[in-house]
Amino acid sequence: MQQVIMQLPESAFSALQKDPSELADEMRLAAAVKWYELGKVSQERAAEIAGLSRAAFIMALGRYCVSPFQYTAEELHEELRDAD
């Protein structure tokens, strides 16, 4: 596994009330959720990036108000039309 080192101001930890380890975990999850939301990574890969099981990642998507489904309205309509 690769390691990324970031420098953050001390105020970030107090503002978010997180210690460095907690903040790193939260940043991994937030990045994975956003990349999934943008369609840059699959749900499986996003869960791996976040360090979570797929089920736990799906639950986290709900906390971030991100749909676990990556369909546009048009794609969903087409899928449902083909289901008949």
**Do the Cβ atoms of 53 and 47 come closer than 8 Å?**
yes
* Domain coverage including residue 51: 17-83
In a domain, 74, yes or no: yes
- Whether the predicted pLDDT of 12 surpasses 70: yes
pLDDT digits (tens, 9 = 90+) for 47-81: 999 999 999 999 999 999 999 988 877 887 887 88
In a domain, 6, yes or no: no
Q: How far apart are CA 6 and CA 1, in angstroms?
A: 16
Q: What pTM does this model have?
A: 0.81
In a domain, 10, yes or no: no
In a domain, 45, yes or no: yes
In a domain, 2, yes or no: no
In a domain, 32, yes or no: yes
In a domain, 9, yes or no: no
Q: Per the structure, how many domains does the chain have?
A: 1
CA dihedral 17, 15, 22, 34 (to 10 degrees): 130
